[in-house]
């Protein structure tokens, strides 16, 4: 709780105290490159694990909830440097949207093609890591982030473009083929009504019962202590007894921080995803609020952060959103840099 806020304070202090020549301190300007480089490294480790080469033990020890590579529901999932593939997918979903948007913006400048190539590599590594995590929540978040980026980049009147119509048809066709292949191959991991989905629903039911008995919340990191009292008896003899959070950001925040914490969180997200976009939009344009949310005039970094937050919120509906160290630091980094991105 404290360290991410101290980090946020340091970042904002750097922003408010530039060098005498007006430039940002070197550490401040390196925040996004360091963030993306770390994500690319984790993605690379995950891809190599999926290919059969596990370098994670050479890097250090970790406490995990599973092996680095596990066979489950017809697929082989990897966790990279994380304790579980879901944690790996959560972080990759915060990396690739920013790298992809910055790559698109940088590629347009001939003098920065090398930087653009590096950003493309980061995008590919983080997307690859996300794919081999086989986290369905990360997949869903990636679709939402891609939609946000596409909506922001599409020109006015795009629906009248024949090229866009053809591209949309191709994408829809590929999507139908992909769904058909999943059904034909009968991969349990992609079955929305499979065993893991049913377990997740049971966890939500237990969390709602916990919230009913404790409407003011249960305090920080107490879910795992109380969950055995609320778990479905059919799951009591399984590893699910060790579940540490309700796998839903609304339930998680409400239980940890109570109604006031949930209100504060909602206000903060509103300011990040809607308030800023509404302030920065061209008020001379008569466009709907939903379009204003996605198509406001902003630097590429802000668009990448908006897409990453959209992916994180979507994934957070079925998993964690904030209460892991890496996710908390990433969140406050987004809050700080979206207001004042480095040069």
DSSP secondary structure of 244-300? -S-S-HHHHHHHHHHHHHHHHHHHHHHIIIIIHHHHHS-TTS---HHHHHHS----H
Give the whole-number percent of the chain exceeding pLDDT 90: 49
Q: What is the mean pLDDT of the chain?
A: 82
Report CA torsion sign: 169, 172, 176, 177. positive
DSSP annotation of 155: P
Q: Which of 19-23, 136-140, 273-277 has the highest mean pLDDT?
A: 136-140
Q: Is the pLDDT of residue 271 over 70?
A: yes
Paired strand residues for 78: 69
Handedness of CA 180, 185, 138, 108 (dihedral sign): negative
Q: How far apart are CA 249 and CA 246, in angstroms?
A: 8
Whether 103 has a pLDDT exceeding 60, the answer reads yes
The per-residue pLDDT for range 27-44, each reduced to its tens digit, is: 777 889 999 999 999 999
pLDDT digits (tens, 9 = 90+) for 277-328: 554 444 434 333 333 333 333 478 888 999 999 999 999 999 999 999 999 9
Enter the pTM of the model. 0.84
pLDDT value of residue 147: 87
Average pLDDT rounded to a whole number, residues 117-136: 94
């Amino acid at each position: 709780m404290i360290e991410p806020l101290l980090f946020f304070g340091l970042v904002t202090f750097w922003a408010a105290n530039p060098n005498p020549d007006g430039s940002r301190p070197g550490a401040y300007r390196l925040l996004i490159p360091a963030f993306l480089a770390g994500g690319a490294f984790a993605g690379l480790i995950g891809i190599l694990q999926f290919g059969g080469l596990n370098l994670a033990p050479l890097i250090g020890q970790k406490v995990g909830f599973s092996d680095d590579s596990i066979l489950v529901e017809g697929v082989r999932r990897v966790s990279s440097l994380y304790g579980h593939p879901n944690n790996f997918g959560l972080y990759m979903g915060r990396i690739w949207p920013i790298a992809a948007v910055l790559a698109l913006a940088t590629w347009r400048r001939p003098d920065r093609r090398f930087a653009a190539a590096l950003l493309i590599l980061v995008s590919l590594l983080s997307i690859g890591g996300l794919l081999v995590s086989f986290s369905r929540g990360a997949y869903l978040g990636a679709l939402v982030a891609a939609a946000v980026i596409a909506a922001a980049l599409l020109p006015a009147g795009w629906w009248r473009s024949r090229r866009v119509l053809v591209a949309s048809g191709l994408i829809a066709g590929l999507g139908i083929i992909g769904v058909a292949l999943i059904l034909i191959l009968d991969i349990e991991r992609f079955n929305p009504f499979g065993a893991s989905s049913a377990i997740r629903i049971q966890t939500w039911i237990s969390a709602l019962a916990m919230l009913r008995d404790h409407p003011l919340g249960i305090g920080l990191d107490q879910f795992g202590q109380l969950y055995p009292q609320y778990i479905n008896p059919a799951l009591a003899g399984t590893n699910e007894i060790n579940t540490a959070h309700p796998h839903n950001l609304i339930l998680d925040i409400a239980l940890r921080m109570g109604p006031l914490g949930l209100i504060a969180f909602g206000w903060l997200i509103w300011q990040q995803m809607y308030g800023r976009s509404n302030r920065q939009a061209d008020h001379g344009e008569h466009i709907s609020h939903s379009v204003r949310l996605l198509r406001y005039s902003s630097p590429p970094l802000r668009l990448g952060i908006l897409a990453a937050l959209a992916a994180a919120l979507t994934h957070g509906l079925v998993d964690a959103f904030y209460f892991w160290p890496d996710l908390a630091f990433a969140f406050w980094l987004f809050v700080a840099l979206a207001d004042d991105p480095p040069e």
